[in-house]
């Protein structure tokens, strides 16, 4: 299975916060699955760390190193085709998060399931685990 972690799922999983259900934890831990991170999630986290909304127990640089080297999550580069897909997505007034919209676009284009507790992904036709 190929997975894309939503920003909160990435944060919760790597910090051990027990907010992900057992299925989500299991698919992330399954070594036969490919687990991807979007630069959009890393950017969102960097913004929240930078403005003080998220406090980390390590530097942001150390966190990124942990994700890529210890957990061996892979980066899913943002492609021009992903941005084109975002431009064609419906824009409901109740879900305007630009980071989520990029994750949805990437997941759909690349055939990935999204690990997230956020039901706002559901109307877009992506598989959501969590």
DSSP assigned state of 57: S
- Cβ count within 10 A of residue 53: 9
Predicted structure pTM score: 0.92
Q: What are phi and psi of 113, to 5 degrees?
A: -85, 145
Token digits of residue 2 = 């190929």
Instruction: Give the chain's domains with CATH numbers.
Output: 2-129 (3.40.50.1010)
Closest CA to 121 of 2, 8, 1: 8
**Residue range 93-128, pLDDT digits in tens:** 677 789 999 999 999 999 999 999 999 899 899 999
Would the pLDDT of 87 be above 80? yes
Closest CA to 98 of 90, 109, 86, 110: 86
């Amino acid at each position: 299975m190929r997975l894309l972690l939503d920003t909160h799922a990435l944060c919760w999983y790597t910090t051990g916060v027990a907010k992900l259900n057992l299925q989500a934890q299991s698919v992330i831990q399954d070594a036969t699955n490919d687990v991807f991170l979007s630069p959009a999630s890393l950017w969102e986290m960097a913004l929240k760390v930078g403005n003080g909304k998220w406090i980390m127990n390590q530097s942001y640089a150390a966190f990124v190193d942990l994700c890529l080297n210890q957990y061996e999550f892979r980066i899913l580069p943002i492609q021009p085709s992903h941005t084109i897909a975002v431009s064609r997505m419906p824009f409901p007034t109740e879900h305007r998060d630009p980071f989520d919209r990029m994750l949805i676009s990437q997941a759909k284009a690349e055939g990935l399931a999204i690990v997230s507790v956020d039901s706002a992904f559901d109307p877009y036709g992506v598989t959501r685990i969590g």
